[in-house]
Amino acid sequence: MHLSEDQILALAPDDSSRKSGKDLAAPAKWVSKGANDAALWGECQGSGSKPYQTQVDLGNLAFKCSCPSRKFPCKHGLGLLLLYARQPKEFTSTQPPAWVTEWLSKRSEKEEKKTEKKDKPVDEAAQAKRQQAREKKVADGLDELNRFIKDIIRNGMLNLPEKGPAFWENMAKRMVDAQAPGLAGQLKALGEISYFTEGWQTRCLDQLLKLYLIIQGYKNIDTLQPQLQEDIKTLIGFPQNQDELKAQPGVRDEWFCLARQTSEEEKLIVERNWFYGLKSHRYALVLQFYVRTQPPGASYTPGLVVDAELVFYHSALPIRALVKDQFNTWKSRGLPEGFADWTAVVKRETAYNARYPFADAWPWIVTQLKPVPLNNEWWLQDEQQQLMRISGNAGALWNILAMSGGAPMPMTLIGKENEYAPVGVWLGNEYKML
């Protein structure tokens, strides 16, 4: 696998790792280094007495390092790969040490098991029986959740703040038992609402109504359009087969990476990568799931353009996608097409919600926005003097003010209805994350 320096730097999880990786791409930083067709490896002297053992699987572009960093790839992996791209002749050893061969063997065994599982004949009768049993469990679980929601509404919502997160977690566990993990996650989100802040009633009721819509949709699933049926099943937790999706034709475009958001759910890192197609003018969301000890399959850096073919999940309003093939990456110059003002955003969001009323948030590019204070709150104002409430961390707001000096800027936002979080801005032709 031969990658350019730009492609390697595009793998960096953040600017700090990118800079540190460049600093480590020097022979003097490495006690030992080697390479063959399968892997790179090296020992980098850190602050401790024992050098960090760094290795890169060239076949599937995976990284491992003994350093304590939780970033993937870490600066040592980036530095080693950059050094190899610049000075391959420095890697004189071709016989990997035991710690490299052991890691490669484990990875090979996992791939073999995956292949065996994939090639194993499917017992269609047993599969249908399991599917029927799961559907029965899900239906029973949804009946219980329906009663749970109706009891909350009958008894009134004013006593919800004193119940605490356990109230929602217990029902979430019941949904896990009912094999409806998607609903379990949404119940946990109800437990994460701050019930002692202004407006909690609206946020709570919105989520309860979303759950109620999903329940009623599943009960009447045969009356829905096929794509909306897929949405209901996905929201409940029935997965769509990724191998079957990748076998379908995708959308090849120059995909501008707008934002990368990460969260931790049940010891699993969930990475949300938001893209905008420069030719197709459509948005896409690519999810990656991984544990802290293993890096994701690919790294997407906001501000870079990825020439790739994406396959979209079946949906009434397709936005989630898989990367079927990736061809090249480069740094973006210029501003993608965006919405002129809040009126255009609201109009498009209304059309989205008519087709798919379950979204937690949508991505938006709005061409001219500036933050303004009003009634002890900060709002985003467009050129027509229309306002929307700003949400997200305070650091993003101060970064916008520092970069813009109070002038309007093209901005990327993630949000819906009346709250939008800025995640990136264009300063001239340069895209800056907030």
pLDDT at 1 over 60: no
Contact 183, 211 (CB under 8 A): yes
Q: Which amino acid is at 337?
A: E
Amino acid (1-letter code) at residue 156: G
The CATH code of domain 242-331 reads 2.40.50
Cβ-Cβ contacts under 8 Å for 226 (sequence gap 6 or more): 314
How far is it, in rounded angstroms, from Cα 109 to Cα 115? 10
What confidence tens digit (pLDDT) does each residue in 131-182 have?
A: 889 999 999 999 999 999 999 999 999 899 999 889 999 999 999 999 999 9
- Rounded to whole angstroms, the Cα distance separating 41 from 28 reads 15
- Mean pLDDT for 42-56 is 88
Determine the average pLDDT of the residues in 22-43.
Answer: 92
At 258-272, the pLDDT tens digits run: 999 988 777 788 899
Q: pLDDT category, 289, cuts 50, 70, 90?
A: confident
Is 309 a residue whose pLDDT tops 80? yes
Distance CA 177, CA 180 (A): 8
Question: Please, which contacts does 276-281 make with residues 24 or more away whose CB atoms are closer than 8 Å?
Answer: 276/336, 276/363, 276/365, 277/251, 277/253, 278/253, 278/254, 278/305, 278/336, 279/253, 279/254, 280/251, 280/253, 281/337
Report how far residue 294's alpha carbon sits from residue 289's, in angstroms, rounded to the nearest whole number. 10
Q: State the pLDDT at residue 295.
A: 62
32 vs 37: CA distance, rounded Å:
18
